Amino acid sequence: MADVLCVSCATAAYSADITGAGSTFAAPLYIRWATDYRASGGSKVVYHATGSTDGMRQMLANEVDFAGSDAPLTDEQLSANGLRQFPTAIGGVVPVVNLPGIAAGKLTLSGQVLAEIFLGKIRYWDDPAIARLNPNIRMPDTPIAVVRRQDGSGTTLIWTHYLAQVSPEWNRRIGEGTTVRWPLGIGGKGNEGVATYVGYLPGAIGYVAWDFTKQNRLTYAAIANAEGSPIQPGVATFKAAASSADWSGSLYQSLTHPRGQDAWPVMGATYVLIHAARDAAGRNEATLKFFEWAFAHGGQTVDALDYVRLPDVVVARIRSQWPASRPEELARKPLTVH
């Protein structure tokens, strides 16, 4: 049975745990926030990293109080499913490889080369297109083993959206989405599944969230960005990419393939979905108290895990739509991306 705890002396207690599921991209952040929130006197928050598509499934089945997703819904989709959404943080997706003798960040790939690898057109690591990007590395004649997500994933949406932007052929043949009809490759579930396959297979390449890459010391590649500069993933290059977004009109931003000399090219915001129904107002209030605490006190955790904080103006807009002290208004206040 869940504990009954006060968020603070001045706030009401809730008799049930707050439950969430979905995005593996955002999981380290939500799990750390949950631990710190509990330690501060808040309710117990349980989050399961099951992938964005499964988080949506659980949300629609009323199995969780909130879903994490890196694939934001349109206003029409939100209305049709009785949901609200808001962004929480920004993060990067990176290519990871298994190439013995080549250290993390030493290999450079381009968007076009990545698209051709995932299309199956570039099949060996010593392909001339890769060699031209890496004149100081003797590339092995190892076959390339493509690893991709098998589950519905917002990380996949970010990755395929980027490939569709940089490769007309990818856009025409494959497109973008939380799931796509992959031309080839081995499917892994979640960041962990992709990383496990990449680690076991010499010559493998996959894509995972940066925080997972860093924490597990995976070998990653640099990417030549829109300006042609080889860019290393990290907080500075993520912030450079995020700074190009114009949040004035919409809380749904495409952050892939940004302009900017120092911008990492594969970025995305992660979102939270809550129920819109009037009878969900009490549970929404408990959930939103958690995220209100996170925005107020969780910024250092965002930094420590190498995500990027939302701009203050965006957080202010989100908070303005949170009548936590008047839960009956939650069903009337839109929490949308447009």
H or E element, residue 190: helix 190-200
Choose among 279, 336, 303: nearest CA to 77. Answer: 336
Q: What is the pLDDT of residue 321?
A: 76
Tell me how far apart the alpha carbons of residues 17 and 4 are, in angstroms, rounded to a whole number.
Answer: 9
Q: Per residue in 269-285, pLDDT tens?
A: 999 999 887 566 677 88
Mean pLDDT of the chain: 87
- Percentage of the chain surpassing pLDDT 90? 64
The CATH homologous superfamily for domain 95-245+255-267 is Periplasmic binding protein-like II (3.40.190.10)
- Strands annotated E in 1-159: 5-6, 13-14, 18-22, 45-49, 66-69, 83-97, 108-110, 145-149
Q: What is the pLDDT of residue 280?
A: 62
Q: What is the pLDDT of residue 330?
A: 39
Residue 13 has pLDDT above 80, yes or no: no
Residue 101: exposed, middle, or buried by beta-carbon count in 10 A (0-12, 13-18, 19+)? exposed
Residue corresponding to tokens 């990417």: 223
Question: Residue 9: which pLDDT band, with cuts at 50, 70 and 90?
Answer: very low
Q: What is the pLDDT of residue 304?
A: 92
pTM of the entire predicted model? 0.84
Give the pairing of strands 222-224 and 230-231: antiparallel
Question: Residue 244: which pLDDT band, with cuts at 50, 70 and 90?
Answer: confident
Least confident interval from 225-234, 294-303, 326-335: 326-335
Partners of residue 267 on adjacent β-strands: 92
Tell me how far apart the alpha carbons of residues 287 and 290 are, in angstroms, rounded to a whole number.
Answer: 5
Domain segments of the chain as ranges: 5-92+269-329, 95-245+255-267
CATH class name, domain 5-92+269-329: alpha beta
